[in-house]
Structure 1
Amino acid sequence: MSITEKKARKLIGSTYAWVILGLVTLIYISSFVDRQIIAVLATQIQAEMDMNNLQVGLLYGTAFSLIYAICGIPMGRLADLYSRKIMIVAGLLIWSLMTFISGFATSLTFLITARMFVGISESALSPAVYSLLSDYFRPEQRATVFSIYASGIFIGIGVAFIGGGTVAQLYDWRTALMVVGAPGILLVGVAWFLIRELPRGITQQKARYDVDMSMREVLVYILSKKTILFHFLGFSFLALTGYTVLGFVGTVLKEVHEAQNLLPYYGWFMLATGLSVVSSGKAADWLAERWGPSKRFIMGMVAGLACLPLYYLGLFAGTGWMALLLIGSANVISSSYNGVAAALIQYLVKPNMRALAGGLYLFVISVIGFGVGPPLTGWLMDMVFTGAYGPAKALMLVISCCGILGSLCFVLAMRFYDGDAEVE
Structure 2
Amino acid sequence: MVTSATAATGHAPAVRASAGLYAWYVALLLAAAHLVSFIDRFLMSLVMEPLKADLALSDTQLGLLQGTGFVILYTVAAVPLGLMADRVNRRNLILAGILLWSVATGLCGLADSFGSLFLARVGVGFGEAALVPAAMSLLAAYFPRRQLGRAVSLFTAGASFGKSTALIGGGAVLALLTTTGGMYLAGIGHLAPWQATFMVMAVPGLVLAALLLTLREPPRVESAVARPGVAVAAAYIRKHYKAYLTHSGASAIVVLLIQSFAAWTPSFYVRFFDMTPPQAGLAVGSVILVSGPLGHLCGGALTDFFQDRGSRAPAAPVIILGVLAAVPCVLLFGTTRNLPLSLLAFGLMSFAMTFAAPASLAGLQMLTPDRLRGVVTSMFLATTTFVGIGMGPPLIGFLTDHYFNGPQGLDRALMVTVIVCAVLGTILALASRRPFARAAAASQATGDSS
TM-score range, shorter chain: over 0.9
Is 1:187 aligned to residue 208 of structure 2? yes
Q: Which one of 225, 231, 235 corresponds to residue 216 of structure 1?
A: 231
TM norm structure 1: 0.93
1:170, 1:2 → 2: CA distance?
A: 51
2:315 aligns with 296
Give the aligned residue type for 1:196: R
- 2:138 aligned with 1:137, yes or no? no
Deviation digits for residues 208-258 of structure 1 (CA, Å, limit 9, x no counterpart): 568264422212312432111111101111211111112211232233332
TM-score by length of 2: 0.88
1:5 counterpart residue number: 6
Show CA shifts across 1:176-198 (max 9, x none). 21221101101212212x11121
Distance 2:266 2:79 in 1: 32
Partner of residue 199 from structure 1, selected from 203, 210, 219: 219
- Name the CA distance, whole Å, in 2 between partners of 1:56 and 1:90: 28
Q: 2:265 aligns with which of 249, 262, 271?
A: 249
Q: 1:308 to 1:20 in 2, by over 3 A?
A: same
Structure-1 residue corresponding to 2:246: 230
Is the 1:223–1:229 contact (alpha carbons within 8 Å) kept by the matching residues of 2?
no
Contact 1:269 1:332 in 2 (8 A): no
Alpha-carbon distance between aligned partners in 1 of 2:82 and 2:354, rounded to the nearest angstrom: 24
Instruction: Pick one of 40, 64, 78 that aligns with 1:72.
Output: 78
Relative to structure 1, the CA distance from residue 82 to residue 322 in structure 2 (aligned partners, 3 Å threshold; closer, same or farther) is: same
In the alignment, the residues of structure 1 paired with residue 198 and residue 325 of structure 2 have an alpha-carbon distance, to the nearest angstrom, of 35
What's 2:332 paired with?
A: 313
Indicate the SS of the match to 2:405: coil
Question: d(CA) in 1 for partners of 2:170 and 2:238?
Answer: 39
Contact 1:252–1:315 (CA under 8 A) maintained in structure 2: no
The 10-residue stretch of structure 1 (330-339 or 273-282) with the greater mean CA deviation from structure 2: 330-339
1:51-90 equivalences in 2 (<5 Å):
51-90=57-96
Match of 1:119 in 2: 125
Q: Retained in 1: the 8 A contact 2:86–2:224?
A: no
Counterparts of 1:410 and 1:362 in 2: how far apart (Å)? 18
Report the Cα distance in structure 1 between the residues aligned to 2:296 and 2:14, rounded to whole angstroms: 28
| Distance in 2 between residues matched to 1:338 and 1:61, nearest whole Å | 19
Rate the CA distance shift 1:85–1:263 in 2: closer, same or farther, 3 A.
closer
Alpha carbons 2:105, 2:202 under 8 Å: kept: yes
Larger deviation: 298-307 or 166-175? 166-175
Tell me if structure 2 keeps the 8 A contact 1:262–1:321.
no
Counterpart of 1:326 in structure 2 is 345
Matched residue, 1:400 = 419
Range with bigger deviation, 155-164 or 169-178: 169-178
Compute the displacement of 1:95 (Å).
Answer: 0.9
CA distance in 2, matches of 1:106, 1:296: 44
**CA RMSD in angstroms, aligned pairs only:** 2.1
Describe the SS at the equivalent of 1:294: coil
Answer yes or no: is the 8 Å Cα contact 2:87–2:227 preserved in 1: no
Compared CA separation, residues 51 and 313, structure 1 to 2 (3 A): same
- 1: distance between equivalents of 2:422 and 2:30? 30
Whole-angstrom CA distance in 2 between matches of 1:356 and 1:140: 22
- How far did 1:2 drift? 7.9
- AA aligned to 1:264 is L
1:36 and 2:36 are equivalent in the alignment: no
Q: CA deviation at 1:153?
A: 0.5
C-alpha deviation, 1:6, in angstroms:
6.8
Deviations 1:4-54 (A, max 9, x none): 427965997221111111111111100000001001111111111111100
2:282 paired residue number: 264
Question: For residue 28 of structure 1, what is the amino acid of its counterpart?
Answer: H
* More displaced 10-residue stretch of structure 1: 26-35 or 381-390: 381-390
In 2: Cα distance, 1:61 partner to 1:386 partner: 22
**In the aligned structure 1, how far is the partner of 2:314 from the partner of 2:14?**
29
Specify the code of the residue in structure 1 equivalent to 2:318.
M
Secondary structure in 2 matching 1:402: helix
Partner of residue 101, structure 1:
107
Matched-pair contact (CA < 8 Å) for 2:400–2:407: no
Deviation at 1:295, TM superposition (A): 2.6
How far apart in 2 are the matches of 1:196 and 1:4?
16
Amino acid at match of 1:229: L
Q: Within 2, Cα distance between the matches of 1:10 and 1:395?
A: 46
Larger CA deviation: 160-169 vs 291-300: 291-300
Using the aligned pairs only, state the percent identity.
Answer: 27
Distance 1:295 1:88 in 2: 29
Q: 1:92 to 1:419 in 2, by over 3 A?
A: same
Give 5+ residue unaligned stretches, structure 1.
Answer: 202-206
Give the 3 Å change call, closer, same or farther, for CA 13–384 of structure 1 in structure 2: same
Distance 1:327 1:18 in 2: 31
Deviation (angstroms), 1:143: 0.6
Give the structure 2 partner of residue 364 of structure 1: 383
Of 2-11 and 114-123, deviating more is: 2-11
C-alpha separation between the residues in 1 aligned to 2:401 and 2:307? Answer: 44
Aligned-partner residue type, residue 56 of structure 1: L
1:157 corresponds to which residue? Answer: 163
Structure 1 residue 293 displacement after superposition: 3.4
Work out the number of aligned pairs and report it: 418
Cα distance in structure 2, aligned partners of 1:174 and 1:209:
45
Q: Is the 8 A contact 1:157 1:267 kept in 2?
A: yes
Out of 22-31 and 290-299, give the one that drifted further: 290-299
| In structure 2, distance between residues paired with 1:154 and 1:46 | 25
The match for 1:350 among 364, 369, 375 is: 369
Q: Which residue of 2 aligns with 1:204?
A: none
Runs of 5+ consecutive residues of structure 2 not aligned to the other structure: 178-192, 445-449
CA contact 1:377–1:394 (8 Å) conserved in 2: yes
Q: Which of 11, 21, 27 matches 1:21?
A: 27
Residues 4 and 50 (structure 1), Cα distance of their counterparts in 2 relative to 1, 3 Å cut: farther
